[in-house]
């Protein structure tokens, strides 16, 4: 297990290098000259050149890249163009709000997805199964900003049960978490169902029944643990989708998270903020998938890393 | 079948699969019994219904399989009228089962110890600790080396032979009265098969169990069974004690089967074959199920299904040749099979 | 030595095992370890052994379906291992293989016609306009009807699919066919049909078979000569009669005694081995069978026995890799169960 963890940790290195490369070149691939933008539209040629010099844009790419990575490793992601403050401190608090939102949404989608999936699989082709699967299809195909707006419309405006926007109190959490978690719940429900249906026909399930195990235990003890194995992978991947979805959800609910902040920064062409945020979110994604792989290993005794 | 003491009596069992294309009769009126303490072999090729018969006894059929009719009497109790929870108390406790694929029949995410212990916890209400202790004893009994370590091992850490031993340990944990072994050695190498068969035989004697052995391997039957039922396309075509069946088989299918088996212990020139193939269960012939492949078949056979009848005090055969209605020339199936078959178009 | 169609010399097939934190090659699975034999034209040589003995790997290595680690494979005097990929592809016209499950090796979306046509197309065996006749002929040869040419593999039973596999192999007029457990998955009555077909085809078309199987009944029926493998090594080779009636290696003896005989009156002495086949990753030293052999001595643990004959006890061409053929034969050495 330790060897596995260490090996898996080593495998994140090329991914992290890849991420930093992409983020770094993003700056250069985006149309427009960063120096021009930072210096302002009315800056003359000399001022732009001076800015370019200050930003180190005249250095060869590898020098710039090395500088970027060493700085980033020390927590220095540059300064915001707009506010002039350090990117790391601008991102800081907002990052945790987004993490919180993503975390609760993931929990919700796992909880609902698993239960719905199991119920669906064990009552295959029943009315309930059909209902859940249709619902899941809706959950999947609904754009989440639209779902968010609908939730606001009904639960906040029409009935006035929950607050329209903001972040912090449990009441404020509810609507954004449902908005963001629904698609994930639908995917997990479908995955659990198909995985469960496959496992239920395995020989070892028949063995369990032949032993006289109660049906409830056959499902929740013998089948579920095996069925969870592919579901875990989906949860990891889903987390990435969730981070993307956070942008819209935060915008709809006016939550001061990283997602919304990035959108703002893109609009303002605040490159250092965009760069820093993407880097931080990518690292979070890498980290979550590392955790997923470790738990995958705990569930599945047979896995070998290749 | 007139045996003084039987452990299980299956009478006119009918099991069908109800698919979207209609009813598929997998087991169609099968009757047999297993004498106490003896081993009954059920032989047949794929599609003969032998495995479905055993799953029917355990009442472990999966959708869309259903027992349509018949009676299964186990120790005087009617299994088909029992509730699901009553059945659960019998499974793994009084009737146990071993399956063909040791590779897939054990749950990959639980240790061997956990999987054996579960039987004790369910049926004897033992605590996990006591159950594991008894499981250790079982592993010793089935001859697994260093049983203490194996208790904590996961199935994938064991070889095929060892897994089948673990399977046997699970099946025998609660001292069942009847053991149903469904192709227990088919997936194993011959030297390992020999070990497992000997183990099962020894344990049967030691524990005084009765046994049903389901297999396609006539060699395994000859070496382990006391009685044999030969199944073809959902019906028993012949039933006899093992020596009679191999020495003087009566049904043309049994004869053909024995003649088409390549032997390692004697020289054979060309194998006699059974022409054609097993009928699909959704397209069963109207008369004798074997008629389309039988070298002796006549119109009588093609039109009417023969009954399973005693032809002497040893063999029961489902074949018109041995009946009074037979309108063809007199045949000795065993001697004439080759010639009749070479004339068959 | 031009009498041999296929000659295999010191063939080795090692598969690397990776492990540790950096996934380095930490060891090898020695699947085939120094195997030599020859196949004469028109004969059937069978390779038998239990799972993991390397019999299928040997077949695959000969065809270079897996590139062998080292050794020599000569077919009609040509060194197969030195051929380029495209030369080897041409060579496969003469060297065909039939697998255990033809369903897995036939594209399920192709009809029989497409399967056969493609095989002929690749090897360019016949002009297009003659292929149709050839296909009909092939179907008849393997006992299928012309009307079945346009069906898909799933419409056939296991035995029929195996016939399609045979037809495909025959379509390019091969000289040698490697049958890798070709009848193992079939029911007895169907197996007999396919075995008879293979025998008939051999006579009619002058084919040579390398027959890989684990069922010794089947092997006795089809072979002229038999080679027994254990853990990647040849333990015994000889003509069928001599090997089955007069086995000399303790492993061959056990293997033969372990097979159940379909005759309840024949209660024979069964030798039951202890334990499992050891792992081919760290195979036992000396004779690989010594961990399970009832006759094993210190010499067996230390020295690898060569394949050899013992003129007093064995006929010409029958060889076994055991230090103690004579001692066991004379009863000087007693088994220690």
| A86 located within any domain | no
Q: Does A201 touch chain B (CB under 8 A)?
A: yes
Q: Does C25 touch chain A (CB under 8 A)?
A: no
Q: For residue A172, name the pLDDT band (cuts at 50, 70, 90).
A: confident
Break chain C into its structural domains and give their ranges: 1-94+174-223, 110-166, 251-337
- Give me the pLDDT at residue A303, please: 57
- Give me the pLDDT at residue C2, please: 53
- Give me the pLDDT at residue A305, please: 44
Q: Does A212 touch chain B (CB under 8 A)?
A: yes
Residues of B in contact with A203 (CB under 8 A): 99, 101, 104-105
CA nearest A228 in B: which residue?
A: B109
- Give me the pLDDT at residue C268, please: 67
Residues of B in contact with C257 (CB under 8 A): 194
Break chain B into its structural domains and give their ranges: 107-171, 247-343
The H-assigned helical ranges of C98-150 are 102-105, 112-123, 128-141
Q: Does B7 touch chain C (CB under 8 A)?
A: no
Helix A127-141 with A87-122: angle, nearest 10 deg: 160
Domain membership of residue A140 as a residue range:
93-299
Instruction: Give the dihedral of Cα atoms A41, A44, A49, A54; nearest 10 deg.
Output: -60
Q: Per the structure block, which two tokens stand in for A250?
A: 């935060």
Q: pLDDT at residue B205 above 80? A: yes
Residues of C with CB under 8 A from a CB of B: 50-51, 157, 159-160, 187-193, 195-196, 199, 214-222, 241, 244, 254-266, 270, 272-273, 275-277
CA nearest C20 in A: which residue?
A: A3
| A29 located within any domain | no
| Sheet strands side by side (includes B6-19) | B22-35, B6-19, B65-74, B77-78
Residues of B in contact with C160 (CB under 8 A): 277
B204: which residues sit within 8 A by CB, 6+ positions away?
Answer: B39, B179, B211
Chain A touching partners, 3 or more CB pairs below 8 A: B, C
pLDDT by residue (tens digit) across A223-280? 998 999 889 888 888 888 888 888 888 888 888 888 888 888 888 878 888 888 888 8
Residue C268 burial (CB count, 10 A): 13
Q: How far is C296 from chain B (nearest CA, A)?
A: 18
Residue B41 burial (CB count, 10 A): 26
C143: which residues sit within 8 A by CB, 6+ positions away?
Answer: C163, C193, C197
- Give me the pLDDT at residue A51, please: 79
CB A145 within 8 A of CB A251: yes
Q: How far is B164 from chain A (nearest CA, A)?
A: 12
Q: How far apart are CA B280 and CA C243, in angstroms?
A: 41
Q: For residue A10, name the pLDDT band (cuts at 50, 70, 90).
A: confident
Per-residue pLDDT of chain C (337 residues; tens, 9 = 90+): 458 899 999 999 999 887 766 677 788 899 999 999 999 999 999 999 998 899 999 999 999 999 999 999 999 999 999 999 999 988 989 999 998 876 777 888 899 999 999 989 888 888 888 899 999 999 988 888 888 999 998 888 888 888 899 999 999 999 999 999 988 888 888 899 889 999 999 999 999 999 999 999 999 999 999 999 999 999 999 999 999 999 999 999 999 999 998 888 876 677 888 778 888 888 999 999 999 999 999 999 999 999 999 988 899 899 999 999 999 999 888 888 7
| A50 located within any domain | no
Q: How far apart are CA A152 and CA A150, in angstroms?
A: 5
Q: Per the structure block, which two tokens stand in for A102?
A: 């993503």
Beta bridge partners of B215: B43
Q: Does B202 touch chain C (CB under 8 A)?
A: no
- Give me the pLDDT at residue B86, please: 95
pLDDT by residue (tens digit) across B246-290? 999 999 999 999 999 998 888 887 788 888 888 888 888 999 999
Q: How far is A222 from chain B (nearest CA, A)?
A: 7
Residues of C in contact with B150 (CB under 8 A): none
Residues of B in contact with A210 (CB under 8 A): 58, 60, 91-92, 96-97, 99
B288: which residues sit within 8 A by CB, 6+ positions away?
Answer: B294, B297, B301, B302, B304, B305, B306, B318, B319, B320
| A261 located within any domain | yes
Instruction: Compute the mean pLDDT over every residue in chain C, rounded to the nearest whole number.
Output: 90
Q: Does A210 touch chain B (CB under 8 A)?
A: yes
Q: How far apart are CA A62 and CA C230, in angstroms?
A: 58
pLDDT by residue (tens digit) across A108-127? 999 999 999 999 998 888 89
Q: Which of residues 29-48 of B touch C (CB under 8 A)?
A: 45-46
| A98 located within any domain | yes
Q: Give chain A's domain count.
A: 1
CATH class assigned to C1-94+174-223: alpha beta
Instruction: Compute the mean pLDDT over every residue in chain A, rounded to the nearest whole number.
Output: 86
- Give me the pLDDT at residue B4, please: 58
CA nearest A6 in C: which residue?
A: C21
CB A199 within 8 A of CB A124: no
Q: How far is B335 from chain A (nearest CA, A)?
A: 43
The torsion angles phi and psi of C121, rounded to 5 degrees, stand at -60, -50
Q: How far is C114 from chain B (nearest CA, A)?
A: 25
| A242 located within any domain | yes
| A147 located within any domain | yes
Q: How far apart are CA B140 and CA B232, in angstroms?
A: 39
Q: How far apart are CA C288 and CA C270, in angstroms?
A: 22
Q: Which of B101, B109, B119 sits opposite A211 (nearest CB)?
A: B119
Q: How far apart are CA B10 and CA B32, in angstroms?
A: 5
Which of these ranges, B172-186, B226-240, B256-270, C163-177, has the smallest mean pLDDT? B256-270
Contact B101 A203 (CB under 8 A): yes
Contact A3 C21 (CB under 8 A): yes
- Give me the pLDDT at residue A273, please: 87
Domain CATH number, residue A118: 1.10.3720.10
Closest CA to B109 of A288, A294, A296: A296
Q: For residue B1, name the pLDDT band (cuts at 50, 70, 90).
A: very low
pLDDT by residue (tens digit) across A180-206? 999 999 999 999 999 999 999 999 999
pLDDT by residue (tens digit) across A149-162? 888 888 888 888 88
Contact C258 B222 (CB under 8 A): no
CB B37 within 8 A of CB B210: yes
Q: Which of A203, A206, A213 sits opposite B122 (nearest CB)?
A: A213
Q: How far apart are CA C43 and CA C172, in angstroms?
A: 19
CA nearest B270 in C: which residue?
A: C196
- Give me the pLDDT at residue B63, please: 82
Residues of B in contact with A225 (CB under 8 A): 109
Residues of C in contact with A3 (CB under 8 A): 20-21
């Amino acid at each position: 297990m330790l060897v596995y963890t260490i090996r898996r940790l080593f495998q994140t290195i090329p991914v992290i290098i890849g991420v930093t490369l992409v983020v770094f070149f993003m700056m250069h691939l985006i149309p427009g000259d960063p120096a021009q933008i930072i210096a302002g539209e009315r800056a003359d040629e000399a001022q732009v050149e001076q800015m370019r010099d200050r930003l180190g844009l005249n250095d060869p790419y590898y020098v710039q890249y090395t500088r970027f990575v060493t700085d980033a490793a020390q927590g220095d992601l540059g300064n915001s163009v707009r506010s002039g403050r350090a990117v790391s401190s601008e991102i800081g608090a907002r990052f945790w709000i987004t993490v919180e939102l993503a975390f609760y949404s993931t929990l919700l989608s796992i909880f609902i997805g698993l239960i719905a999936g199991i119920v669906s699989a064990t009552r295959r082709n029943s009315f309930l199964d059909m209902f859940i699967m249709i619902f899941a299809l809706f959950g999947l195909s609904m754009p989440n900003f639209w779902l968010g707006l609908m939730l606001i419309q009904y639960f906040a405006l029409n009935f006035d049960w929950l607050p329209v926007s903001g972040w912090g109190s449990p009441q404020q959490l509810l609507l954004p978490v449902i908005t963001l978690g629904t698609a994930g719940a639908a995917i997990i429900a479908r995955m659990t169902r198909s995985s469960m249906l496959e496992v239920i026909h395995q020989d070892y399930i028949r063995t369990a029944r032949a032993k006289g195990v109660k049906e409830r235990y056959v499902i929740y003890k013998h089948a579920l643990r095996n069925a969870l194995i592919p579901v875990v992978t989906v949860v990891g991947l889903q987390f990435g989708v969730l981070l993307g979805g956070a942008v819209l959800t935060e915008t709809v609910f006016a939550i001061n998270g990283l997602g919304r902040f990035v959108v703002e920064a893109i609009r303002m062409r605040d490159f250092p903020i965009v760069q820093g945020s993407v880097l931080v979110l990518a690292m979070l994604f890498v980290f979550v998938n590392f955790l997923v792989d470790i738990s995958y290993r705990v569930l599945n005794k047979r896995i070998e890393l290749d | 079948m007139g045996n003084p003491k039987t452990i299980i009596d299956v009478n006119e069992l009918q099991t069908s699969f109800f698919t979207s294309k209609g009813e598929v009769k997998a087991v169609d009126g099968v009757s047999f019994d297993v004498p106490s303490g003896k081993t009954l072999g059920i032989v047949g090729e794929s599609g003969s219904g032998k495995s479905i018969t055993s799953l029917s006894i355990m009442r472990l059929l999966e959708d869309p399989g259903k027992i349509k009719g018949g009676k299964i009497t186990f120790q005087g109790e009617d299994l088909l009228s029992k509730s699901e929870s009553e059945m659960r108390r019998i499974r793994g406790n009084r009737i146990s089962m071993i399956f063909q694929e040791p590779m897939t029949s054990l749950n990959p995410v639980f240790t061997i110890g956990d999987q054996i212990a579960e039987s004790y916890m369910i049926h004897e209400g033992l605590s996990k600790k006591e159950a594991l202790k008894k499981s250790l004893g079982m592993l010793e009994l089935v001859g697994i080396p260093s049983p203490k370590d194996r208790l904590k091992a996961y199935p994938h850490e064991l070889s095929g032979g060892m897994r089948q031993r673990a399977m046997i340990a699970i099946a025998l944990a609660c001292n069942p009265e009847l053991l149903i072994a469904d192709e227990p050695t088919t997936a194993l190498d011959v030297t390992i098969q020999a070990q497992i068969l000997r183990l099962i035989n020894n344990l049967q004697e030691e524990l005084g169990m009765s046994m049903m052995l389901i297999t396609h391997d006539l060699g395994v039957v000859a070496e382990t069974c006391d009685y044999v039922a030969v199944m073809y396309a959902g019906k028993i075509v012949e039933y006899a004690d093992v020596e009679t069946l191999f020495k003087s088989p009566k049904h043309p299918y049994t004869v053909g089967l024995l003649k088409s088996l390549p032997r390692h212990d004697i020289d054979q020139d060309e194998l006699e074959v059974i022409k054609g193939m097993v009928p699909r269960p959704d397209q069963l012939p109207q008369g004798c199920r074997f008629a389309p492949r039988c070298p002796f078949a006549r119109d009588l056979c093609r039109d009417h299904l023969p009954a399973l009848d005693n032809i002497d005090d040893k063999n029961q055969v489902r074949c018109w040749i041995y009946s009074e209605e037979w309108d063809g020339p007199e045949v000795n199936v065993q001697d004439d099979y080759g010639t009749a078959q070479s004339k068959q178009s | 030595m031009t009498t041999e169609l296929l000659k295999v010399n010191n063939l080795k097939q090692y598969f690397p095992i990776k492990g540790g934190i950096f996934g380095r090659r930490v060891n090898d699975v020695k699947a085939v370890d120094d195997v030599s034999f020859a196949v004469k034209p028109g004969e059937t040589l069978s390779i038998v052994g239990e799972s993991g003995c390397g019999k299928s790997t040997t077949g695959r290595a000969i065809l270079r379906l897996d590139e062998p680690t080292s050794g020599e494979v000569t077919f009609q005097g040509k060194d197969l291992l030195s051929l380029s990929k495209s030369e080897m592809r041409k060579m496969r016209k003469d060297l065909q293989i039939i697998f255990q499950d033809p369903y897995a090796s036939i594209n399920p979306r192709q009809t029989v016609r497409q399967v056969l046509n493609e095989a002929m197309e690749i090897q360019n065996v016949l002009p297009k306009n003659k292929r149709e006749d050839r296909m009909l002929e092939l179907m008849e040869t393997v006992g299928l009807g012309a009307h079945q040419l346009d069906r898909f593999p799933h419409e056939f039973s296991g035995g029929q699919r195996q016939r399609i596999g045979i037809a495909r192999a025959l379509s390019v007029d091969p000289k040698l066919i490697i049958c890798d457990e070709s009848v193992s998955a079939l029911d007895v009555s169907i197996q007999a049909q396919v075995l008879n077909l293979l025998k008939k085809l051999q006579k009619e078309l002058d084919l040579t078979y390398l027959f890989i199987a684990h069922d010794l009944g089947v092997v006795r029926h089809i072979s002229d000569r038999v080679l027994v493998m254990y853990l990647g090594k040849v333990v015994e080779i000889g003509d069928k009669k001599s090997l089955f009636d007069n086995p000399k290696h303790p492993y061959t003896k056990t293997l033969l005694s372990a097979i159940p005989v379909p005759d309840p009156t024949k209660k024979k002495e069964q030798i039951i081995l202890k334990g499992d086949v050891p792992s081919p990753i760290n195979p036992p030293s000396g004779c690989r069978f010594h961990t399970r052999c009832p006759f094993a001595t210190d010499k067996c643990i230390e020295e690898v026995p060569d394949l050899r004959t013992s003129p007093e006890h064995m006929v010409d061409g029958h060889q076994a890799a055991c230090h103690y053929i004579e001692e066991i034969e004379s009863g000087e050495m007693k088994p220690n169960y």
